[in-house]
Amino acid sequence: MRPLLLFPALLGFAIVGVAQPGTDSLRAVLAHAGRDTTAVRALNELAVAYSRELPDSTVALGTRALALAEAIGDRPGMAEALKNIGGGHAAGQRFAIARAYYDRSFEQWSALGDRGQMASLQRKLGYVAESQGDMPEAIKQNLAALRHYEAAHDTATVAQLKTALASVYDRMEEGEQAVALQREALALFEALRDTLGIAQSSNNLGTMLDELGRYDEALPYLERALAMARALGNPYGEVMCMGSIANHYQHMGDMATALQRNEQLLPLVQQLGSPYHEAALRINMGEILTALKRYDEARAQLEQGVAFARTVGAHEWLRNGHAALYELAEAQGNTAAGLEHYKLFIAYRDSIENEANTRKAVQEQMQYDFEKKEAVAKAAHEQELRRQKLVRNGFMGGFALVALFAGVFFFQRNRISKEKARSEELLLNILPEEVAEELKAKGSAEAVHIDQVTVLFTDFKGFTAMSETLSPQELVRDLNECFSAFDHITARYGIEKIKTIGDAYMAAGGLPTPNTTHATDVINAAFEMRDFIAEGKARKVAAGLPYFEIRIGVHTGPVVAGIVGVKKFSYDIWGDTVNTASRMESSGEVGKVNISEATHALVKDTPGLTFTPRGKVQAKGKGELEMFFARRAMAAQEATGTGKN
């Protein structure tokens, strides 16, 4: 799990220190203004003045400005008001609504031909998209804004946008690209002698280098950022930088020092009076205490963190808090409590992912609200016309309707039969047969604990960079080709496909019916997947086209398996086994099957398989784990660089 303070550290203190206009003078202007553009401007400026501390007041003032601007036909005032309302919702973490208002404001400024305001909104849309987890949209909006400011030779804003793009790539775990962009931003801030920008970039760069495991390189940047934030007298900046240093020690596995640093940070966060940041800090401390096996203290911190997150509706921290409580329950062997927290984790995770769909609905509602009365009246009129027509034609059509009924009945019965068969087929496409039968019989399916399952994760190296060189159609076609082949491979080995997550593929052997061959089944399937991708790479290289390279990780252990959700339900598994399998993939190497010590113990004597010990390898969030590269015995040429491993 990513350190909880990383995200605000990347964005949080860049906005501190922005001077706000005096609210008293603005209220004086408003008191003497009529219903004119002066009043609209004063309302909008008041909305901006309250945007940091009182986002709901920003929304209220922006709404007043919008109503007045619409009444007097002040289009720039309308555009500005829409932007401010969006800003208030963004500050209140209501990102779907914020995005809808920003979109409307962008349309207004576009109609007015104001490219500067359009670029400003693209920056805001980029931030909101990133907050929603919509990384492609965040990149698109930030790049569009970047082109404008580069053409305008606005170096300061270019540096800020490169920082924003670096943040997006970091969250996508494209660490090298994030570091490169952040270095560019830092160089620009240094050329401008922008102390705040230098501090922010140094802090960001340090956290990104930590993510890549380059700890010695990271710490000087983090310490430099902290010193500069203190020199600036910037309390938010000091908190973010101290949090980043605490995360640095957590990355290194020095949990005692990480906890000490976070405990020093807590009173400063409390002085800020920010429930949002206190939620993040306490959840982070709970994770560290769990790792230190101080379980009672961990639970107290996590529950407080979740409570703070709930007060501000911070779904990201609620998601992470319940994930941490689930891991704590698993560590204590409390499966029932773990399952409840996992369900809440899924619910909050899905609420974040579904905001993109919510945004569209909100936007349409806002756009068409004023048409409601007219639409209702029109519908009522059309219904009355249809009723009169039915009455007029009733006697004429009655006999023909009776004659037709028998034919329709037989047609519908045949159609229903076909649709039922189709539904059965779709259900079995989504769920294992045993689970589907239980669902049909009982209307629900119980979650079950399975003692030993082998979980496989695959991931494509450089997928994000490749996605920028291909059209969406080409990218989806190539992914579909790979994942379809993986589906056929898992089916041959009796392995259950769990899901795809972006360019990652997850499957498991030994469920829903336990068996004794799951580990060898999964490893053999992994070899076939790797070989399929290698053959595809060879074809692409020969044709001069972009190609995929794959990492594969495998781990064996206990899981809880069952159906998650009530809409678009899916068969899923959860438990520390899943997390460790994911770490096997991310800690592996391209073209190799990386397995854990637990899996190795089951398959080490299997004929036809050989293993290369890797010793203890640092795995993100797991410390050092024993790992092995699995290979077919026929591939002994691996050491000389020939043959398949």
**Average pLDDT score over residue span 80-104:** 87
Burial of 166 (0-12, 13-18, 19+ CB in 10 A): buried
Rounded Cα–Cα distance for residues 383 and 391 (Å): 12
Q: What region, left, alpha or beta, does residue 460 occupy, with left being phi > 0 and alpha being psi -120 to 50 degrees?
A: beta
pLDDT band at 451; cut points 50, 70, 90: confident
**CATH 1.25.40.10 describes domain 274-353:** yes
Closest C-alpha among 260, 264, 298 to residue 282: 298
CB-neighbour burial class of residue 70 (10 A; exposed 0-12, middle 13-18, buried 19+): middle
Which residues, at least 6 apart from 463, have a Cβ–Cβ distance to it below 8 Å?
502, 503, 548
User: Which carries the bigger pLDDT value, residue 4 or residue 344?
Assistant: 344
Q: Which residue has the higher pLDDT, 105 or 572?
A: 105
**What is the DSSP-derived secondary structure letter of residue 592?**
-
Residues 6+ apart with CB under 8 A from 433: none
Measured CA to CA, the distance from residue 332 to residue 328 in angstroms comes to 6
Contact 259, 229 (CB under 8 A): no
Residue ranges per structural domain of the chain: 1-15+194-272, 274-353, 447-640
Q: What is the pLDDT of residues 500-526, one digit of tens each?
A: 887 889 999 988 888 889 999 999 999
DSSP 189-242: HHHHT-HHHHHHHHHHHHHHHHHTT-HHHHHHHHHHHHHHHHHHT-HHHHHHHH
CA-nearest of 233, 230, 205 to 219 is 205
Residue type, 582: S
Judged by DSSP in three states, 632 sits in strand
If one compares 360 and 586, the residue with the highest pLDDT of the two is: 586
Q: 476 pLDDT exceeds 50?
A: yes
The residue among 571 and 497 whose pLDDT is bigger is: 497
Topology (CATH) of 1-15+194-272: 1.25.40
Q: Among 32-41, 335-344, 596-605, 630-639, name the one with the lowest average pLDDT.
A: 630-639
Q: How many residues does the chain have?
A: 645
Average pLDDT for the chain: 78
- Is the separation of the CB atoms in 537 and 548 below 8 Å? yes
CA-nearest of 432, 375, 474 to 562 is: 432
Quote the DSSP letter at residue 431: S
State the average pLDDT over residues 91-97.
80
Topology adopted by domain 447-640: Alpha-Beta Plaits (3.30.70)
- Mention every residue, 6+ apart, whose C-beta is less than 8 A from residue 637: 643
Whether this prediction's pTM lies above 0.75 is answered by no
Please name the residues in contact with 167: beta carbons below 8 A apart, sequence gap of 6 or more.
10, 11, 130, 178, 204
Nearest to 227 by CA among 262, 257, 202: 202
Query: Is residue 82 within 8 Å of 101, Cβ to Cβ?
Result: yes
Is the peptide bond between 558 and the residue preceding it cis, with omega within 30 degrees of 0?
A: no
Q: Look up residue 625 and give its amino acid.
A: L
The 10 Å CB-count burial string (b at 16+, else e) for 150-163 is eeeeeeebbbbbbb
| Tokens found for residue 190 | 């240094």
Which distant-in-sequence residues (6+ apart) come within 8 Å of 540 by Cβ?
A: 546, 547
Equal fold, 274-353 vs 447-640: no
Tell me what pLDDT residue 353 has: 55
Q: Is 507 helix (H, G, I), strand (E, B) or coil?
A: strand
**Residue 401's Cα: distance from chain center in Å?**
55
List, for residues 401-424, the tens digit of each pLDDT value.
344 444 444 444 444 444 444 444
Instruction: Tell me if 456 sits within 8 A of 553, measured CB to CB.
Output: yes
